[in-house]
Amino acid sequence: MANRNLQRIYQQYKRASASTTAARAPGSQGGIIEPGARQPAVYTSPASMDDIMLGPGERGLMLGMTREGKSTLSEVQIDHWYNTYKDADILIIDSKPRFRAEWQLNGLPAAPLYRNWDWGTLVPNSVVIPMKDAESEIRLAWSLRYRIIIAQIQDRSDIGLLDQALKIAYMKRRKRHKLFIYVDELNNFFKVGVKGIQAGTGIIMVITSGGEKNTAFLGAGQRPRNISVESIESMTKLYWFYTPFDEDNKHLRSMDLPLDSIPPASRSYAFLFFDRIHQKKGWARIQPISVKPKDRKGSKGWINYG
Ligand SMILES: Nc1ncnc2c1ncn2[C@@H]1O[C@H](COP(=O)(O)OP(=O)(O)O)[C@@H](O)[C@H]1O
Ligand SMILES: [Mg+2]
């Protein structure tokens, strides 16, 4: 397992450095490059929504303190995936929980499940699974042509069930379908144990499955500190909302983020965007999508601060 991961990371590194050294070639005059030295990367600002949105096969990390806008950005990304990749299956892993499904697996509206909630956003066309037998429930949802599945728990101690659901969705993913997995409250899956940072095997499997081109992963957490180095190394895109801790960018070095990077101010709903593969970096903000189900529209608006 460890060796496979190292090989994978090395392959990713080789691919990334091959494309970047080509882009950084010092011109026809040639130049002196010390053997093995890495040139500082040149980053350009993201220029469109397409630059910002997570693509198939990518791994995205959203960071920021609570109420800075992570879940709202995830709604835009879920909407983007639903509308851009018509063959995409979407799985929302919701341990808080905060997402409202539209349907139950038995065909009834899901609204009564959320009677006592005074929070949460509706995800149109989504189905919530009961989490008694995730494997048959996910299969059933797919055979009923639901494209957005919400797996949620009411009790944080059931987190292992969600980890299991992640693993099942990844391993049983449908041929010729893309898969997009979004994990809200990523930190709930990572624990500091005697041997360092540990996580469920499902989440590690999905995050580090870099070779699987049709599966994309997006996770949201408050701090990078409890997320394993191995996981951060696998990330290709970063969305960094305000966090007050200087040492956070040291953890993000594991995904090649330059050390002088800082996130925008609190409650600006803006984030530092970093794309390691396409070498983009800059501050950005996304217009939230309308949450009223009737006039729900995809988010087209965005502002580039970079
Ligand atoms: N880009 C944005 N523009 C305007 N309001 C936003 C934006 N992003 C988030 N908000 C608002 O801020 C609040 C917290 O956002 P949320 O996405 O739940 O944060 P988090 O998941 O980081 O805790 C919500 O009420 C949301 O409507
Ligand atoms: Mg949230």
In a domain, 102, yes or no: yes
In a domain, 31, yes or no: no
CA dihedral 179, 1, 228, 187 (to 10 degrees): 50
Report CA torsion sign: 46, 48, 52, 55: negative
In a domain, 253, yes or no: yes
Task: Give the whole-angstrom CA distance, residue 292 versus residue 232.
Answer: 35
Q: How far is CA 76 from CA 30, 47, 93, 142, in A?
A: 44, 17, 16, 22
- Cα of 71 to ligand 1 centre, how many Å? 7
Identify the CA nearest to 112 among candidates 120, 127, 121, 102: 102
Which atom of ligand 1 is nearest to 285's Cα?
1
Q: What ligand is nearest to the CA atom of residue 242?
A: 1
Give me the residues near ligand 2 (ion), CB cutoff below 5 Å.
Answer: 70-71
- Rg of the chain (C-alpha set): 20
State pLDDT tens for residues 168-185: 999 999 999 999 999 999
Which atom of ligand 1 is nearest to 68's Cα?
22
- Tell me the average pLDDT of the chain: 85
Q: What ligand is nearest to the CA atom of residue 186?
A: 2
In a domain, 131, yes or no: yes
- Among protein residues, the one with the nearest Cα to ligand 1's atom 25 is 67
pLDDT for 118 beyond 50? yes
Task: Give the whole-angstrom CA distance, residue 64 versus residue 87.
Answer: 31
Identify the CA nearest to 83 among candidates 73, 75, 72, 92: 75
Q: Answer yes or no: are the C-beta atoms of 126 and 103 closer than 8 Å.
A: yes
Task: Give the whole-angstrom CA distance, residue 57 versus residue 178.
Answer: 9
- Cα of 124 to ligand 1 centre, how many Å? 18
Task: Give the whole-angstrom CA distance, residue 107 versus residue 241.
Answer: 38
Q: Answer yes or no: are the C-beta atoms of 290 and 297 closer than 8 Å.
A: yes
Range of lowest pLDDT (13-17, 229-233, 251-255, 269-273): 13-17
pLDDT for 70 beyond 60? yes
- Cα of 68 to ligand 1 centre, how many Å? 6
**Local confidence band at 303 (pLDDT 50, 70, 90 cut-offs):** very low
- For residues 186-193, give the mean pLDDT: 84
For residue 199, what are its two tokens?
A: 């996580």
- Residues of the domain holding 157: 59-298
For residue 198, what are its two tokens?
A: 């540990």
Q: Answer yes or no: are the C-beta atoms of 61 and 298 closer than 8 Å.
A: no
- Cα of 288 to ligand 1 centre, how many Å? 8
In a domain, 91, yes or no: yes
Which atom of ligand 1 is nearest to 65's Cα?
22
Give the global pTM.
0.84
In a domain, 256, yes or no: yes
Q: Phi-psi category of 282—alpha, beta or left, where left has phi over 0 and alpha has psi -120 to 50? A: left
State pLDDT tens for residues 200-252: 889 999 998 866 778 999 999 998 988 989 899 999 999 999 999 988 999 99
Ligand 1 contacts (CB < 6 A) are 64, 66-72, 269, 285-286, 288
Question: Is pLDDT larger for residue 187 or for residue 301?
Answer: 187
- Cα of 70 to ligand 1 centre, how many Å? 7
Q: How many domains does the chain have?
A: 1
Q: How far is CA 191 from CA 47, 141, 167, 186, in A?
A: 37, 31, 18, 11
- The domain that holds 192 is classified in CATH as 3.40.50.300
- For residues 88-106, give the mean pLDDT: 96
State pLDDT tens for residues 30-65: 655 555 656 667 899 999 999 999 999 999 999 999
In a domain, 5, yes or no: no
In a domain, 35, yes or no: no
